[in-house]
Structure formats: C-alpha cells, structure tokens
Amino acid sequence: MRSSSAARRNQKLKRLKNRSVLLGVSGGVAAYKTADLVRRLKDDGASVTVMMTGAAQQFITPLSLQVASQNTVYTSIFQDPLTHISLPAQADIMLIAPATANIIAKFANGIADDILSTAFLAFQGPVVVAPSMNWKMYEHPVFQANLKRLLSLGIRQVGPESGPLACGEEGAGRLAEVAAIIDAVAAAMTEQDLAGKKVIVSAGPTREYLDPVRFISNRSSGKMGFSIARAALRRGAEVVLISGPTALKSPSGAVLRQVDTAAQMLRAVTEETEKGASVLIMAAAVADFRPAEQARTKMEKQRVRAIALDRTEDIITRIASRKKRPFIVGFAAETGPDLKRAMLKMQTKKMDMIVFNDVTEEGAGFETDTNSVVIIDRKGKVRTGLRSKDEIADAILDRYLKIKTRLYFPILLKN
Ligand SMILES: Cc1cc2nc3c(=O)[nH]c(=O)nc-3n(C[C@H](O)[C@H](O)[C@H](O)COP(=O)(O)O)c2cc1C
C-alpha cells in the first residue's frame, strides 16, 4: 500500500477545483490544441463545457471535445433551447481559445448570431480570450481597436506569442501555451491581493567556474522559486524572476533575468531592487564558494591536486544593509530539524522572514514537486507540513501579506 506522504506527493495542486469553465472554441487553425487544453483544465480540477462555432468544427470535431470534456458539446443555439442562457448562468469563467479576429469583433460589437457570441452577452463573470491568428490580422488597427474595447471592459487577454505561424510566416499570432492559458484562467479566479506590489524572486542554482568547461554547483532545480513567481503572478503582482540555470519554463507574465554565477545573481538582484520592490524572496541556492582562480582554458587533470575556494558575497546581507530596502525573505536549507541556525541567520542577515527547509525530510527539498517548511518571522512560526511547492508558495505569500498588514495598521491609525 502506498504511504500517505507518497500519496500527498503525487497530489497536484488543483487550482480550478470545483470551478466550471465554459470554453468557447472559434475557427482558428490552433483549434486542434483545445483537446489538450480541455484535458489540462480537467487535470487542474475544473469541469469543462465546450461551445464551438461553425468554423471551429472545420478544424476539430465536436466528438473529440466531447470525449475530452466528458460533457455535451454545444454547436448551435437551436440544439437545446435556452442553453445560451443556462450555460453562462452555470459557469464560473468563460474562456475563448482560440479566439479568432471574427469572434473578437463580434464580442466588441455585441453581435449575437451563434451559441458562442450569444452566451458571451449572457455571461456576467470573468472572461479570458486567447487570440490566435496571422500576424497581419493581429496587428490590423481594426482588430486592435476591437481587442482594446474588450480589455477596457475588464476582459483578460492571454497571448498571442511570437514565432512561426501555421501560414508559414513569422510574427505575433501563435496561440499562448496551454500552461499559460490555464495560469490566466486561475489568475482570473484568484483574489488579486498582491496587485500593485512588485515581487522579486530568485531561483535555481548558480555555477562557479573552475575553467570554461567545469563548474561547482548544487542540486537546486529552481522549482520552489518558480512556484513562488507563478503564485505571485496569479495573485496580481508584478514579478521579476532572477534565475540561475534550470530546465524550467518561465511563467508567462514574469520578467525573466537569467544568470549563471553568484556574482551575476548579486548584480541582477541589486539592479532590480534599486528600481524599487515590495518584497525580495531569495529562493535561489546561491553558491557560498567559488574557485579562487579561474583558468582561461580547460585545466589538465593531471595538474589539478586541490581547488582553493573563496567565499562569494552574501546577497541578502548586501541588500539588507541598504537604507531603502524591500521586505526580505530568505531560505535556509538544512540537513536536520533544528531551527536554531535558521533563526540566527534571519537575525544576523537582517531578514524579515526565513523559510526553513530540512532537505533530508521525505518529499522535501531539491528537485521534488513537494516541500515541507517552517516559515519563521519575528512574530512566530508557521509549519506547513508536506505540501506541493505551489501551496507552499501561497503560504509564504500569505504570511508576507499578513505581516505587512499588521505593520501598516498603526500607521493607518495615525493618519
Ligand atoms: C485554414 C484556415 C485557417 C484559419 N485560421 C485562422 C486563425 O488562426 N485565426 C483567425 O482569426 N481566423 C482564422 N481563419 C479564418 C476564420 O476561420 C474565419 O474568419 C471564420 O469566419 C471564423 O469564424 P468564427 O469566429 O465564427 O469561428 C482561418 C481560416 C482558414 C480557412
């Protein structure tokens, strides 16, 4: 039998649990990607009901989307009378992917001549559109005016991305990645409690070079930092993600700065915090040591006996010593349960919060999708237990917001 912690480890955070997504598919060449989109929305816990335009059915069959969604697919307002009113009434969110130039023009002008455009007018909740078309169509001022009108009404846009298009041309018009579309749906359904805040997150390892080929590094995968960046974006923050080398895809909407060495990480964090930030979350495993000397060419192995190391500069100490500094969250990866070293580290480095991480605990630490941490600040501790890194990310941001609200409370009273 599988242990409960192993079961927990395999449990993905279902951001759309008990949410009902009304997915409108219009007739773009990217419509074939919606079978995967439906499957991934369901993986995230959503129930999905699909509506299709006539043109969409030229690109993918209703049967495919019926199988993917395990639900009836609606293709006409006359198929089942009044569904253009009842489907929107039952939905939490409406997502249009791909959204053609035509459907966006109809939405912007209140035209209701098929199931999708009619249901749009009858829907009162959040709407996300994922435009996809040829780049000339996308850049056309008439299309841009229609899109702008929708955005001014609070409708959210995800994508398009730039790159090679189905027509053989290149430019802005590719349907956003499925993961980015789902992130946008989750964000549209999440309280925007970090709106107006700038969050800087560092993630991943650094590499300290011995020569142009060899380096010293560590086991950090970057997953914890990337989860924090995604959670902050979902909650409405402006996010700068400063990352060492990882195999992860940058969350859409984040400004990504890729670095290699601890010195580059220090420079990027300094530059970004100087521009102003609400909070700096240092989830990166920055190397403590670097080779005292770096060979310009590959060293001959016979000649290497020992490697002399120098300490790297401590990034948090440097940022914390500045007069104008953000709220600083550090991480302490330890190989045992004792919190003392982490607490001391928080005090000596003048952090506002530290996330203690016993990397020897099952399911915690490097490379895993789960973690188990203790969030320590000046007022107390929060033990998270074994949870997904996405959930831990939210717990860290929750605690930050709680402290910030408490700190500002007396100031608000004074005014
Ligand atoms: C092969 C092919 C690919 C097309 N791809 C797109 C597309 O990616 N985006 C778009 O806006 N229109 C595209 N169109 C044009 C739409 O299908 C057309 O404007 C249609 O009227 C859209 O109808 P709908 O918005 O009701 O689905 C394509 C047409 C064809 C024939």
Tell me: the pLDDT tens digits for 228-255? Answer: 999 999 999 999 999 999 999 888 889 9
pLDDT in tens, 59-86: 999 999 999 999 999 999 999 999 999 9
The yes-or-no answer on residue 167 being catalytic is yes
Q: What percent of the chain has pLDDT over 90?
A: 80
Residue 60 CB contacts under 8 Å (≥ 6 apart), including other chains: 25, 31, 32, 34, 35, 52
Residue 2 domain flag: no
pLDDT at 413: 41
Distance of CA 409 to the CA centre of its chain: 30
Residue 3 domain flag: no
Name the residue among 376, 283, 380 with its Cα closest to residue 331: 283
Active-site residue, selected from the candidate residues 112, 122, 167, 255? 167
Residue 9 domain flag: no
Residue 28 CB less than 6 A away from ligand 1: yes
Indicate whether 148 and 217 sit together in one domain.
no
pLDDT at 1: 38
Do 266 and 202 form a contact (C-beta atoms < 8 A)? no
Name which residue sits closest to atom 29 of ligand 1, judged by CA: 28
| Last-in-domain residue among 137, 158, 188 | 188
pLDDT band at 3 (very low <50, low <70, confident <90, very high): very low
Distance of CA 100 from the midpoint of ligand 1 (Å): 6
pLDDT band at 256 (very low <50, low <70, confident <90, very high): very high
| Last-in-domain residue among 160, 188, 216 | 188
Q: What percent of the chain has pLDDT over 70?
A: 94
Q: What's the maximum distance between 2 C-alpha atoms anywhere in the chain?
A: 83
Residue 404 domain flag: yes
Range of the domain at 271: 198-414
Residue 56 CB less than 6 A away from ligand 1: yes
Name which residue sits closest to atom 22 of ligand 1, judged by CA: 27
Pull the structure tokens for residue 319. Answer: 């940022």
Pull the structure tokens for residue 169. Answer: 């041309």
Do 309 and 290 form a contact (C-beta atoms < 8 A)? yes
Residue 125 vs residues 95, 154, 317: alpha-carbon distances, Å: 11, 10, 46
pLDDT at 204: 96
Nearest-10 Cα torsion for 397, 401, 402, 408: 160
Q: Residue 2 has what DSSP assignment?
A: -
Residue 8 domain flag: no
- pTM, two decimals, is 0.81
Indicate whether 274 and 392 sit together in one domain.
yes
- The CATH number given to whatever domain includes residue 301 is 3.40.50.10300
pLDDT band at 213 (very low <50, low <70, confident <90, very high): very high
DSSP for 92-149 reads SEEEEEEEPHHHHHHHHHT---SHHHHHHHH--S-EEEEE---HHHHH-HHHHHHHHH
Residue 245 domain flag: yes
| Last-in-domain residue among 153, 188, 223 | 188
Name the residue among 251, 253, 276, 280 with its Cα closest to residue 265: 280
**β 387-388/373-377 pair status:** unpaired
pLDDT at 281: 98
Residue 100 CB less than 6 A away from ligand 1: yes
DSSP for 47-85 reads EEEEEE-TGGGGTS-HHHHHHHHTS-EE--TTSSTTHHH
Name which residue sits closest to atom 16 of ligand 1, judged by CA: 27
Indicate whether 23 and 117 sit together in one domain.
yes
- The CATH number given to whatever domain includes residue 101 is 3.40.50.1950
Say how many domains are in the chain: 2
Distance of CA 387 to the CA centre of its chain: 17
Substitution site in 23, 25, 29 for ligand 1 pocket (most atoms within 8 Å of beta carbon): 29
pLDDT in tens, 302-358: 888 899 999 999 999 999 999 899 999 999 988 888 899 999 999 999 999 999 988
Q: How far apart are CA 317 and CA 159, in angstroms?
A: 39
